[in-house]
Structure 1
Amino acid sequence: MFATRVFLKQTALGAILVAAALPPGPATAEEGFPFGFEMTLDGPPQPGSKRIPTLEIGDNGEAKLDLWCKSGTGQFSVAGNTVIFVPGRLQDRDCTPPRAQADDDLVAALGEATTWRRRGDQVSFTGTRTLRFRLNTN
């Protein structure tokens, strides 16, 4: 009886030590769709500007877009790795034609996205082209 109890304690202690030494498995909560987060487009600013587009996705999929020149809203719907983005109204601030076109192209690319993927702080939306965003974690 005493030998069995010692053996079980040693086995349990060994299992705890092995589990602590193993790398953590995938963190599903951290790898889920970034509801409730703000993210920044992973790319350079437009020439003559320091602004980089941001996207804030609320807990229910409502989105706020602050692009190179325009701002607006939209709605994300997600099922598994499938995504649908429906743009709302965009407010046009005195945009130069190239910046206005870049904003329209970005919104169109989000609207054409059919899948999404998250790896750590990077979120990708893929359709006719892939858009990469970095979560603002500061």
Structure 2
Amino acid sequence: MQVLKRGCAVAMMALSMSGLPLAGASAEEFPFGMEMTLDALPMPGSKRVPDLDIGDNGETVLELWCKGGKGQFSVAGNTIVFIASKIEDRNCPAARAQADDELIAALSATTNWKRQGDLIIFIGPKTLRFRLNTN
């Protein structure tokens, strides 16, 4: 029995030193309590890129191309649901307002997610890639 425990401990230590994530490690968890930015360039005439600030319980503040608002993420394993609540219309130019509406619709249609390092990928009819703000 003692040899088995020691063998498991050595295997776990070797795995952790290999750089591979262990089951339940933070590399596999949804980034609650973090902020992420859409992996996209700003629209012409603007420096803004959509940003999600996700709270510890999934409550989310969205700053989009022009609009802003709140929503809620619910996560179970790799399954995800996003529900937008009040979105502020900030007298946006038509192209930015349409891009905001399309992004909210795409987030609302996501069904799964995965994490690759600092990249969070939302999977649905349209795949959305966000980068964690780690600085």
Percent of aligned pairs sharing the same letter = 58
2:86 is matched with: 89
2:28 is matched with: 31
Q: Pairwise mapping of residues 104-115 of structure 1 onto structure 2 (< 5 A)?
A: 104-115=101-112
The change in CA–CA distance for 1:20 and 1:109 in structure 2 (over 3 A counts) is: closer
Mapped to 2, the partners of 1:115 and 1:21 lie a distance apart of 27
Residue 130 of structure 2 corresponds to residue 133 of structure 1: yes
Mapped to 2, the partners of 1:130 and 1:67 lie a distance apart of 17
Q: List per-residue Cα deviations over 1:50-79 (Å, max 9, x = no partner).
A: 110000110001000000100000000011
Mapped to 2, the partners of 1:46 and 1:106 lie a distance apart of 14
Q: List per-residue Cα deviations over 1:80-108 (Å, max 9, x = no partner).
A: 10000000111111200110000000000
The one of 41, 44, 57 equivalent to 1:47 is: 44
What are structure 2's unaligned runs of at least 5 residues? 1-9
2:3 is matched with: none
Secondary structure of 2:26's counterpart equals helix
Equivalenced residue count is 124
Q: Which runs of 4+ in 1 moved over 3 A?
A: 18-22
Q: Pairwise mapping of residues 63-82 of structure 1 onto structure 2 (< 5 A)?
A: 63-82=60-79
Deviation at 1:19, TM superposition (A): 3.4
Deviation at 1:20, TM superposition (A): 8.9
Mapped to 1, the partners of 2:67 and 2:16 lie a distance apart of 49
Residue identity opposite 1:120 in structure 2: G
Mapped to 2, the partners of 1:56 and 1:85 lie a distance apart of 13
The change in CA–CA distance for 1:104 and 1:24 in structure 2 (over 3 A counts) is: same
2:7 is matched with: none
Residue identity opposite 1:103 in structure 2: D
Residue identity opposite 2:44 in structure 1: P
Alpha-carbon RMSD across the aligned residues, in angstroms, is 2.1
Deviation at 1:36, TM superposition (A): 0.3
